[in-house]
Amino acid sequence: MSDSPVNRIPSISQLMELRPLKDLAHKVSSSTVAEGVKAYLQPYQKMAMEAAPTLPYASLQSLASEISDWILGQRGLSRPEVINATGQVLGADFPTGPIAEEILVQAHARRHDYRQATAQENYRQAIEQLLCEMTGAEAALVVSDRQAAVYLLAQALSGQKTLVPRSQMSATFDRIAVPKLLEEAGVQEVGSSNAIDLASLAGEIESSAENLLWLDKTNFSVSGANVVPPTLEAIGALKTSGVSLWAMLGVAGLLPDEIHEDLGLCSGKQALEAGADAALVGAGFLLGGPGCAIVLGKAECVSKLSKLPIAQYLQAPPASLAELEVALRIHQSGQRVDDRIPVMSLLSTSEENLDLRATRLADQLAVSPWIAEAVTGSAETFVLPGGIKLPSRHVTLKAAPDAADTLQTQLQGFPAVACWSQNAEEVVLDLRTLFPRNDAQLVSKLVPENNTIEGGDRGNAEK
């Protein structure tokens, strides 16, 4: 009886005596924890019944900690960390990037500054003044998100002769219904739907419009971005037309840097210096801050938005302002931003670094009992909307016989949930979107500590 594989699985009562689960029982209830432990152990019971040579936990203590995190996540009391290996740094389902830990820590401390809370309007004005100092803008406005900024922009331009290139009248990558908002405001389309001729556009708007709205190609998915010329080129060609030029900059950041140059992006400061009258920048993209949106530019343009009656209800909340301030201070510090802003770190990682990590990760994962082979390869990844690509490295995991479901279960496990792309029985991990710390997390998830079987010996041991 004692030799039964199922006996390798600890009992519910045995696990509930361990500190992580014991403490959790006081926070929720013993019955809830017991039900959670039972549900979490089911995959392990299945593996034991299938006579798996090893079970994927190093000790009862580590298993208890995993279960505690899982129960908290299931009940919505905490969220598991997500490992992104999809190849997309930003996408429709996760438009804002990861926020640096130092931003969260410092912003959390500022949220408890009650002196700041009683002078919130002064604090908002101080943040907007800081934005002006950093970019050279005459005025700035911080609102809750990009959709709020586009709505205010459409309302501010309502009643004026405003044009937008017809090819830019489509929903943005983060699902903002730009055509509907602009049509309701009376904004008119101009030009062809499948191309933009800047010379013709300049001639058409010069005598027939008060405003032109220009959307950078990173506002759109890959399919809708190929006809949009670079924003700096467009501003240069259109700024002498005598209209107010409003630029929506997609995923660009606030200040120019090497990443903007390498990817052909236009920053908020660059747009204003090139001649744009106002620019809309999302704080949650290359700026690395919260999901709020920033409007920068000439005072008369920004005031058109801020003076709208609804503007006060669309302001960024105090918590976002606190996070935004810390992000701005990082950019203002003069230190290497790509060392401190996670999104910038991912985009600036060298090919040599990715190659070394991919090789090491493949070697480590190849000994997993659920992986038959781990293969590295070069790739070109669409890392940002608008067809922005960067060279990357893939690690392709080919599941061991009858282990495809178990491999996916492990990758979806708590406390770190891995997101990947899949082709048949293969799991493809893109190193461009993995932080170095994620490499070790994946290894710990897929290679039990006591698994020392390698190469052909592993196959014999599993039979």
Distance CA 304, CA 282 (A): 19
Q: State residue 196's pLDDT score.
A: 86
Q: State residue 74's pLDDT score.
A: 59
Q: Which two tokens stand for residue 362?
A: 């493949």
Q: State residue 410's pLDDT score.
A: 85
Residue 253: partners with Cβ closer than 8 Å, 6 or more residues away: 259, 260, 265, 267, 268, 281, 285, 286, 287, 288, 331
CB 139 within 8 A of CB 278: no
Q: What are phi and psi of 277, to 5 degrees?
A: -80, -25
Q: State residue 459's pLDDT score.
A: 39
Q: State residue 452's pLDDT score.
A: 46
N residues, the chain: 463
Q: State residue 393's pLDDT score.
A: 96
SS3 sequence, the chain? CCCCHHHHCCCHHHHHCCHHHHHHHHHCCHHHHHHHHHHHHHHHHHHHHCCCCCCCCCCHHHHHHHHHHHHHHHCCCCCCEEEECCCCCCCCCCCCCCCCHHHHHHHHHHHCCHHHHCCHHHHHHHHHHHHHHHHCCCEEEEECCHHHHHHHHHHHHCCCCEEEEHHHCCCCCCCCCHHHHHHHCCCEEECCCCCCCHHHHHHHHHCCCCEEEEECHHHCCHHHHCCCCCHHHHHHHHHHHCCEEEEECCCCCCCCCHHHHHHCCCCHHHHHHHCCCEEEEECCCCCCCCCCEEEEECHHHHHHHHCCHHHHHHECCHHHHHHHHHHHHHHHCCCCHHHCCHHHHHHHCCHHHHHHHHHHHHHHHCCCCCEEEEEEEEEEEEEECCCEEEEEEEEEEEECCCCHHHHHHHHCCCCEEEECEEECCEEEEEHHHCCHHHHHHHHHHHCCCCCCCCHHHHHHHHC
Q: State residue 397's pLDDT score.
A: 94
From residue 8, alpha-carbon distances to 5, 55, 59 in Å are 6, 9, 12
Distance CA 64, CA 57 (A): 10
Class in CATH terms, 81-96+346-462: alpha beta
Q: How many angstroms separate the first and last alpha carbons of the chain?
A: 22
Q: State residue 292's pLDDT score.
A: 94
Task: Decide which of 3.40.50.970, 1.10.3720.10, 1.20.1250.20, 3.40.640.10 is the CATH code for 101-338.
Answer: 3.40.640.10
In 3D space, the residue among 426, 406, 409, 405 whose CA is nearest the CA of residue 417 turns out to be 409
Break the chain into its structural domains and give their ranges: 5-74, 81-96+346-462, 101-338
Q: Is the pTM of this model over 0.85?
A: no
Distance CA 281, CA 229 (A): 18
Spans in the chain with pLDDT lower than 70? 1-8, 44, 46-58, 73-80, 111-119, 223-224, 414-415, 424, 449-463
In 3D space, the residue among 144, 143, 130, 141 whose CA is nearest the CA of residue 330 turns out to be 130
In 3D space, the residue among 412, 435, 432 whose CA is nearest the CA of residue 422 turns out to be 412
Q: What's the Rg (C-alpha) of the chain?
A: 26
Distance CA 204, CA 75 (A): 58
